[in-house]
Amino acid sequence: MSAFANYWRRFPVKAKAGAIILGLFVLAAIIGPLVTPYDPSFQNPSPGLSMAAPSAAHLLGTTQSGQDVLSQLLVGIRLTLELAVIVGVVATAASVVVGVTAAFLGGFWDDFLSLVSNVFLVIPQLPFLILLLGYLPQKGQTPTIIVLSVLGWPWGARVIRAQTLTIRGRDFVAASRETGESSWRIIASEIIPNQISLIAANFVNTVLYAIGTSVALAFIGLADLNSWSLGTMLYWAQSQQALQLGAWWWFLPPGLAVAFIGTALVLLNTGIDELGNPRLRDARNATRVAGYRVWPTDPTPVLEGVAAGGGRVGAFLHSFSRSSLLDETASGGDTR
Amino acid sequence: MPFILRRLAFYVVAAWVALTANFFIPRAMPGSAVQDIMSKFPNLQPSAYKAIEAMLGVGHPGSLLDQYGSYLVDVVHLNFGTDVSAYPASVASVLGQAIPWTLVLVGTATVIAFFVGTGLGIIAGWRHGGWADRLLPGLMFLQAIPYFFFALLLLELFALKLHVFPIAQGYNGQVVVPGWDWAFISNAIQHSLLPAITIVLTSMAGWMLQMRNVMITTIGEDYVIAAQAKGLSSRRVVFTYAARNALLPQLQGFGLALGFVVSGALVMEIVFSYPGVGLLLLNAVTSNDYPLMQAIFLVITFAVLVANLIVDLVIVLFDPRVRAKEVTAR
């Protein structure tokens, strides 16, 4: 536990914010469907409950046909996150396999696998997905997961291949090869552990892609419209003109849920980036030296008046301060 | 092989993959488009099956290879078959009306987003932690929102509540007639403003974040420090030393990100009922108009491929390393 706490403390602020927001949604996805106040598909026939504004009985109001929006939202978050995580795991695994294989085999197979992933990268995804799903006789969670996974791996494969190539050339890999380790062992215990943060970032990206794409697909009607996901909620809200009729409680929650999950993932990813590349870290960077804002990218200022006043004690105290680093004196202590 | 020829070969392969996928998907999928249409109109006689087959062009005679050959010939001649929902118009003519709208709107907005985002990224990277850097979390939120959702919110606020912008469509058919006169063009511009703003706002953050990160890394390079040590002005160091080199990965990303931006913009068009390819795609999906769906997929793919080729040409122009490699390779 303390190891975890230690790790958490070193997390950049952005990553912490992302992890917390995401955690809330994951929690909602896990326990949400168990505590829904109503059956999300139940259409309450009483006329007062058609597009009713939020009330104590219906915390997020109702839809046109009297369904409870909160119940739909809770079920929808589960369905959307479930899809995204499965796609994330499958596609990331595929990109690790393809990327590492390409980098390790080299030669023809490297060229071939790189060509395949580049071709898939350059073909625009959404029209391709629409074509694929459009021809499928039944639309639903499983076909969407399969199609998104099949098209979701090339970017990761490209990045992981490049990283594997650089790691492969390092001394510690050469050393373990000299000691007679098999290729598989080198891959499993040298290569992959050394790019775990890259793989994590790739997973987060894929989840983000899966959420965005699946919601967009559902919005244009390419999903099982009888199930409740964030995308199908938006589809129904849009097709029943929720916004034009002023039913914001029906339209805003699913959209904001997608937006917050997305932001959380982007934040998490930026955080992972910063963990790996300290230069990107959100340094509260500009320091104030003698009334000037000094940025790390500025040339070292040569300021004439930076000398501390106040006699010996002042000079002594000043020598501990950050700005004393800017004092350039020949003897290194005497500021006079 | 020179860089450009190599890239050209790559795009030819990509185009071939897209064409082939487009050919095989309808044939590999369970169920059939014809069956779908038959079940949609229950009062059709079973004898209509052959007629629909002929109309969609799916019932080609001959072996698979023959069909593939005639399909390629058809595509070269821009013969995408007959449109199902706008029967008897040809798919090519229906598409031809929609493409200019999308090309102008999405093209312009994407280029603007790229330049504004890159510019902000330069500032954010240079003044790391400054005002532009602090915009970033907000912009990330905009980027994480689905395009169409953000578009709907803007539509509600600016068109329905404040009446600043028109609600939908590419132009007001009751006021102007399409043509090359000022009345029509100004009306069309007015209608395109809100969609364009949506695209710019939502896609800007991606460019900005990438440019910022590359800028920060570039600034640490020795040649930038050397430029500063020489006493060059900040502006010169930023633009001619740091940003110029940081721009190259950004350009390479531009080509690859284009597919995503275009996809998002397509869905956004649906919200604004903009008479472009996106709205056409929605109609094709809802009415099971398979020939149109296939043609749209091909057109968008080819547009993205051509845009990528242009980006590659620009990279050759900007990056001396690419040119140098060619010289040494020879």
Q: Per-residue pLDDT tens for B68-87? A: 777 777 777 777 666 666 65
Least confident of A222-226, B86-90, B235-239: B86-90
A119 contacts B259? CB cut-off 8 A: no
At residue A263's C-alpha, the angle toward residues A258 and A266, to 5°, is 125
The whole-number pLDDT of residue A91 equals 92
A87, β-bridge pairs = none
Nearest to A136 among B29, B141, B264 (CB): B29
Nearest to B146 among A243, A258, A277 (CB): A258
Whose tokens are 């390819």? That residue is B277
Q: Tokens in use for A275?
A: 């963990």
CB A43 within 8 A of CB A285: no
DSSP A68: B
A286 touches chain B (CB under 8 A): yes
Q: Give the closest residue to B256 by CA, choosing from B303, B308, B316.
A: B308
Note every long-range contact of B40-45, with CB atoms under 8 Å and residues 24 or more positions apart, other chains counting.
Answer: B40/B288
Query: Phi and psi (nearest 5°) for A9?
Result: -65, -35
Q: Residue A35 pLDDT > 50, yes or no?
A: yes
B214 touches chain A (CB under 8 A): no
Q: Tokens in use for B68?
A: 């593939």
Tell me how far apart the alpha carbons of residues A91 and A148 are, in angstroms, rounded to a whole number: 8
Q: Tokens in use for A273?
A: 């980036």
DSSP string, A269-294: HHHHHHHH-GGGS-----EEETTEEE
CB B145 within 8 A of CB B167: no
Q: Give the closest residue to B89 by CA, choosing from B297, B295, B273, B302.
A: B295
Angstrom CA distances, A128 to A151, A299, B71, B263, B293, stand at: 9, 51, 18, 10, 10
**pLDDT tens digits, one per residue of A304-327:** 444 444 556 666 666 666 666 555
- Between B47 and A200, the more confident residue is A200
A159-175 burial, b at 16+ Cβ within 10 Å, e below that, comes to bbbebbeebbeeeebee
Please report which helix (H) or strand (E) contains residue A232, including its range.
helix A230-239
B14 contacts A123? CB cut-off 8 A: yes
A279 contacts B216? CB cut-off 8 A: yes
B252 touches chain A (CB under 8 A): no
Asked if the bond preceding B88 is cis, omega within 30° of 0, the reply is: yes
The whole-number pLDDT of residue B85 equals 62
CB A316 within 8 A of CB A300: no
Q: What percent of chain B has pLDDT over 70?
A: 78
Beta-carbon contacts of residue B20 (< 8 Å; ≥ 6 apart):
none
B249 touches chain A (CB under 8 A): no
Interface of A with B in 165-194 (CB under 8 A): none
Q: Tokens in use for A301?
A: 């200022």
Tell me how far apart the alpha carbons of residues B247 and A184 are, in angstroms, rounded to a whole number: 39
Query: Averaged over A130-142, what is the pLDDT?
Result: 78
Tell me how far apart the alpha carbons of residues B205 and B209 are, in angstroms, rounded to a whole number: 6
Q: Residue A89 pLDDT > 90, yes or no?
A: yes
pTM of the model: 0.77
At residue A92's C-alpha, the angle toward residues A86 and A95, to 5°, is 140
A83-119 burial, b at 16+ Cβ within 10 Å, e below that, comes to bbbbbbebbbebbbebbbbbbbeeeeebeebbebbbb
CB A87 within 8 A of CB A148: yes
Whose tokens are 């400054």? That residue is B130
As for the ipTM of the complex, it is 0.78
pLDDT, mean over chain A:
77
Tell me how far apart the alpha carbons of residues B99 and B102 are, in angstroms, rounded to a whole number: 5
**pLDDT tens digits, one per residue of B87-146:** 566 777 777 777 888 888 888 888 888 889 888 888 888 877 677 777 777 777 777 777
Measured between CA atoms, how close is A178 to chain B, in angstroms?
A: 34
Chain B's closest residue to A283, CA to CA, is: B129
Tell me how far apart the alpha carbons of residues B191 and B97 are, in angstroms, rounded to a whole number: 17
Query: Averaged over A9-15, what is the pLDDT?
Result: 74
**pLDDT tens digits, one per residue of A143-169:** 888 888 888 888 888 888 888 888 887
Question: Which three-class secondary structure state does DSSP give residue B90?
Answer: strand
Q: Give the closest residue to B270 by CA, choosing from A250, A130, A149.
A: A130
Q: Give the closest residue to A327 by CA, choosing from A274, A295, A290.
A: A290
The whole-number pLDDT of residue A307 equals 46
CB B281 within 8 A of CB B266: yes
